[in-house]
């Protein structure tokens, strides 16, 4: 029961932007949107998180709609090493039980 | 920054044997989490500690599983006796809990357990 909906898979051409959508229509006002990714056989890697403002770091940008019911993770220049399963998670500050769901399998192609 | 350290990385054992997985959290973090990942169930939280105290163990599957955190820099997850259905990848994560924002969890590389 992950509270988020993501497409099961997406492809992206190397060097192009990868835009990964996530729906979280039942998000509460105090819940943050987190993104992690898991490269094959590795532990989940934190990417970015936000509450309502758009966020950017060295890895990615996070765009959250004004009503906060959906968000998009943007990898500006995807590389082959960005091929992974990407998880969108919503959680409140006091809730440590992160529900990962099935995620989106992103394949970056040459 | 060494990140979360887990050992062993791979463990193969026979049914009925005791298995101990180990985790060293990131220095300065005060919360530690044990997760299990399988193809069927995905990533599941088993137990988490705050300041070395178990806070929520509702995800621990049964009495064969136990976890300890004797100090801030070490935790163990023990399975006794192990069964084939325990085969999975076990991840440890840590975070710093105490600020006004959420607490980002950072994961270790995992231990791949195979019970024959």
Q: What percent helix, strand, coil does chain A show, rounded to 5?
A: 5, 45, 50
Sign of CA dihedral B22, B43, A45, B103: negative
Of B42, B93, B101, the CB nearest to A93: B101
What integer is the mean pLDDT of B22-50? 94
* Chain B residues 61-90 within an 8 A CB cutoff of chain A: none
Shortest CA gap B104–chain A (Å): 8
Q: Is the pLDDT of residue A1 over 70?
A: no
Of A45, A96, A101, the CB nearest to B31: A96
Which pair of structure tokens corresponds to residue A50? 């936000």
Chain A contact present for B101, CB below 8 A: yes
Q: Is the pLDDT of residue B101 over 80?
A: no
Q: Among B16, B24, B15, B14, which residue's Cα sits nearest to residue B70? A: B24
Label residue B104 by pLDDT band (50, 70, 90): confident
Q: Which helix (H) or strand (E) holds A85?
A: strand A84-91
**b vs e for B52-78, b when ≥16 Cβ sit within 10 Å of the residue's Cβ?**
beeeeeebbeeeebebebeebeebebe
pLDDT score for A36: 96
* Span A35-91, pLDDT tens digits: 999 998 899 999 999 999 899 999 999 999 999 999 999 999 999 999 999 999 998
Chain A contact present for B1, CB below 8 A: no
Q: Is the pLDDT of residue B38 over 90?
A: yes
Q: Is the pLDDT of residue B100 over 60?
A: no
């Amino acid at each position: 029961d992950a509270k988020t909906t993501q497409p099961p898979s997406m492809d992206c051409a190397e060097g192009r932007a990868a835009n990964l959508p996530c729906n979280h229509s039942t998000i509460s006002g105090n819940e943050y949107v987190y993104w992690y990714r898991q490269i094959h056989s590795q532990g989940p890697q934190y990417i970015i998180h936000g509450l309502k403002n758009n966020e950017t770091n060295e890895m990615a940008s996070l765009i959250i709609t004004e009503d906060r019911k959906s968000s998009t993770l943007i990898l500006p220049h995807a590389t082959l090493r960005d091929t992974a399963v990407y998880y969108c998670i919503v959680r409140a500050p006091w809730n440590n039980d992160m529900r990962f769901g099935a995620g989106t399998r992103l394949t970056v192609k040459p | 920054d060494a990140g979360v350290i887990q050992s062993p990385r791979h463990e193969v054992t026979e049914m009925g044997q005791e298995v101990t997985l180990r985790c060293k959290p990131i220095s300065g973090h005060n919360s530690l989490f044990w997760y299990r990942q399988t193809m069927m169930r995905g990533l599941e939280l088993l137990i988490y500690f705050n300041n070395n105290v178990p806070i929520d163990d509702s995800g621990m599957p049964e009495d064969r599983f136990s976890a300890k955190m004797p100090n801030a820099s070490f935790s163990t997850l023990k399975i006794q006796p192990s069964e084939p259905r325990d085969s999975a990848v076990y991840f440890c994560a840590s975070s710093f809990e105490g600020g006004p924002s959420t607490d980002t969890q950072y994961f270790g590389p995992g231990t791949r357990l195979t019970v024959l």
